[in-house]
């Protein structure tokens, strides 16, 4: 009996080993070999001839594959990529021959890497580094379905006083991140951002100075939202805002904050028939921009500066904002997977930030990377909102100790 049992055990062991070898062989036949690609960065910024030192990042979100490499002087070999669909981003900072600094970016979104030795030509554009940046954005609102407490804080991250007078704020279209992107005129290329609605800071040129380390807040409705008639669960009191988007709604009356000047909506300067202005609680895309001295920008009276979405029959008009005018841009989405549905040129924002839900009373805030001598923050600005912003924070004004400008109405009323 013992001999029989030993024999059976030996036969079983041989069967198991053979089975394991078979499974191993089967697995090996399905093994996917890594690929190598060559990255060729094509620079389009005047006075910049080299992409050396820029970073290229490959992100395959479906397979959770992420790889980063520094570019050389010419074509750069990147090895070890598994076949798949990638978002490819080249980012960094360069200095032109004239001394101007630029955050640069080039990208290929949802690009299939399947060929060994393929050369990827990536066009690189740049955004001149701006002293004014979005420092905090609260767009998600508060339960239940309360969105009047949205706000946008803009910070002077430079060492010089900046005047807000005549600087524009706009939210871009589509209003939420989507893979079904609009079709714009062929001749426009990547030269424009397309705005759904445009506002402007008022003033005669020197009325609204913002010193280094100071910030201003634009609120949808610059009231104390914690009051019973609004939403006591609101995380913010917006009554100290410097500016507001006043829509002449008697239910949400004009506040002491200075009114932003309305510029454009659907081809007109009028506010429109609906007495409210909100950006998507799922997350919008926002820019601030300045028209250079000596140039004219009037999308209402100059029809070449507006366009409709050519992918359908809608007659809604959107303002064309030249990329070179943009001081800062931030794109927000529903969640991290929406990076594959970017609406804006990657030169404005190579990434995306998010809070993951609507009406959760959470916002996004730019990260602090240092302090000025007076204790005011130095904020991160790599032109990539995925990296630059903390996500899911409880919103607050003047985080990290940025200062209120001396002309804020609450300071004047206390003097």
Starting from the edge strand earliest in sequence, which strands make up the sheet with 118-128, in order? 65-70, 55-60, 84-95, 101-113, 118-128, 35-43, 76-81
Asked if 223 and 76 sit in the same domain, the reply is no
Q: Does the residue 101 lie in any domain? A: yes
Q: Does the residue 3 lie in any domain? A: no
**pLDDT (0 to 100) of residue 163:** 97
If you search the block for the tokens 């005018």, which residue do you land on?
Answer: 325
- 28, pLDDT greater than 50: no
Furthest-apart CA atoms within the chain: distance in Å: 105
Spatial contact of 339 and 351, defined as CB atoms under 8 Å apart = yes
From 14-23, 67-76, 190-199, the region with the lowest mean pLDDT: 14-23
Residue 71 belongs to what domain range?
35-128
| Cβ-defined contacts of 51-56 (< 8 Å, 24+) | 51/90, 51/94, 51/124, 53/92, 53/94, 54/90, 54/91, 54/92, 54/94, 54/104, 54/124, 55/90, 55/91, 55/92, 56/88, 56/89, 56/90, 56/122
Domain boundary among 99, 128, 157: 128
Closest CA to 162 of 123, 117, 213: 213
Asked if 215 and 324 sit in the same domain, the reply is yes
DSSP state at residue 360: B
Helix (H, G, I), strand (E, B) or coil at 284: coil
Number of Cβ atoms within 10 Å of the Cβ of 15: 10
Asked if 81 and 163 sit in the same domain, the reply is no
- 20, pLDDT greater than 70: no
From 14-18, 42-46, 252-256, 394-398, the region with the lowest mean pLDDT: 14-18
- 89, pLDDT greater than 70: yes
pLDDT band at 344 (very low <50, low <70, confident <90, very high): confident
**pLDDT (0 to 100) of residue 2:** 45
* Mean pLDDT, range 288-302, rounded to an integer: 96
Whichever domain contains 86, its CATH number is 2.60.40.10
Asked if 112 and 213 sit in the same domain, the reply is no
Residues 6+ apart with CB under 8 A from 156: 131, 132, 162, 210, 211, 212, 213, 214, 215
Q: Does the residue 13 lie in any domain? A: no
Asked if 92 and 219 sit in the same domain, the reply is no
Asked if 177 and 109 sit in the same domain, the reply is no
From 51-65, 122-136, 292-306, 384-398, the region with the lowest mean pLDDT: 122-136
Give the dihedral sign, CA 102/397/234/410.
negative
- 415, pLDDT greater than 70: no
Number of Cβ atoms within 10 Å of the Cβ of 234: 21
Mean pLDDT, the chain, whole residue set: 89
pLDDT band at 3 (very low <50, low <70, confident <90, very high): very low
- Tell whether omega for the bond before 144 is within 30 degrees of 0, i.e. cis: yes
Question: Per residue in 171-217, pLDDT tens?
Answer: 999 999 888 889 999 989 789 999 999 999 999 999 999 999 999 99
- 273, pLDDT greater than 80: yes
Asked if 107 and 217 sit in the same domain, the reply is no
- 113, pLDDT greater than 70: yes
Asked if 281 and 157 sit in the same domain, the reply is yes
DSSP state at residue 207: S
* Mean pLDDT, range 119-147, rounded to an integer: 92
pLDDT band at 369 (very low <50, low <70, confident <90, very high): confident
* Mean pLDDT, range 237-247, rounded to an integer: 98
Spatial contact of 144 and 206, defined as CB atoms under 8 Å apart = no
Asked if 62 and 177 sit in the same domain, the reply is no
Asked if 95 and 144 sit in the same domain, the reply is no
- 3-class SS string, 290-308: CCCCCCCCCCCCCHHHEEC
pTM: 0.75
- 262, pLDDT greater than 80: yes
Domain boundary among 128, 144, 178: 128
Note the helical H segments in 330-378.
none
**pLDDT (0 to 100) of residue 97:** 83
Domain boundary among 106, 128, 150: 128
Asked if 109 and 69 sit in the same domain, the reply is yes
Give the dihedral sign, CA 45/51/52/55.
positive
Q: Does the residue 2 lie in any domain? A: no
- 170, pLDDT greater than 90: yes
Q: Does the residue 261 lie in any domain? A: yes
DSSP 143-160: TTTB-TT-EEEEEE-SSS
Q: Does the residue 11 lie in any domain? A: no
Asked if 392 and 249 sit in the same domain, the reply is yes
**pLDDT (0 to 100) of residue 13:** 46
Total domains present in the chain: 2
Q: Are strands 377-379 and 192-200 parallel, antiparallel or unpaired?
A: unpaired
């Amino acid at each position: 009996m013992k001999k029989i049992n030993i024999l059976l055990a030996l036969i079983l062991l041989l069967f198991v080993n053979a089975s394991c070898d078979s499974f191993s062989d089967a697995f090996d036949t399905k093994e996917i070999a890594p690929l190598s690609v060559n990255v060729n960065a094509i620079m389009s910024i005047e006075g910049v001839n080299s992409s050396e030192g820029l970073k290229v990042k490959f992100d395959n979100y479906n397979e959770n594959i992420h790889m980063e490499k520094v570019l050389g002087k010419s074509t750069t070999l990147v090895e070890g990529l598994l076949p798949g669909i990638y978002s490819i981003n080249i980012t960094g900072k360069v200095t032109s021959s004239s001394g101007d600094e630029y955050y640069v970016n080039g990208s290929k979104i949802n690009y299939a890497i399947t060929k060994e030795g393929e050369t990827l030509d990536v066009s690189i554009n740049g955004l001149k580094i701006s002293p004014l940046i979005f420092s905090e954005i609260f767009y998600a609102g508060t339960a239940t379905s309360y969105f009047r407490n949205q706000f946008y804080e803009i910070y002077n991250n430079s060492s010089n006083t900046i005047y807000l007078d005549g600087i524009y704020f706009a939210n871009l279209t589509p209003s939420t991140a989507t893979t079904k992107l609009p079709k714009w005129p062929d001749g426009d290329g990547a030269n424009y951002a397309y705005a759904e609605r445009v506002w402007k800071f008022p003033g005669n040129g020197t009325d609204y100075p913002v010193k280094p380390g100071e910030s201003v807040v634009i609120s949808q409705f610059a009231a104390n939202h914690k009051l019973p008639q609004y939403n006591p669960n609101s995380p913010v009191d917006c009554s100290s805002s410097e500016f507001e988007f006043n829509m002449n709604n008697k239910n949400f009356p004009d506040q002491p904050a200075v009114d932003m000047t309305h510029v454009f909506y659907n081809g007109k300067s009028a506010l429109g028939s609906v007495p409210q202005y909100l950006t998507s609680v799922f997350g919008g895309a926002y820019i601030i921009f300045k028209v250079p001295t000596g140039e004219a920008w009037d999308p209402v009276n100059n029809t070449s500066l507006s366009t409709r979405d050519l992918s359908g029959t809608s007659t809604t008009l959107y303002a064309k904002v030249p990329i070179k005018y943009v001081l800062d841009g931030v794109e927000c989405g529903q969640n991290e997977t929406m990076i594959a549905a970017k609406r804006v040129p990657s030169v404005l924002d190579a990434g995306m930030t998010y809070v993951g839900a609507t009406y959760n009373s959470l916002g996004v805030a730019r990260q602090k990377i240092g302090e000025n001598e007076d204790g005011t923050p130095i904020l991160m600005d790599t032109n990539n909102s995925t990296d630059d912003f903390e996500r899911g924070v409880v919103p607050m004004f003047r985080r990290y100790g940025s200062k209120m400008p001396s002309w804020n109405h609450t300071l004047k009323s206390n003097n």
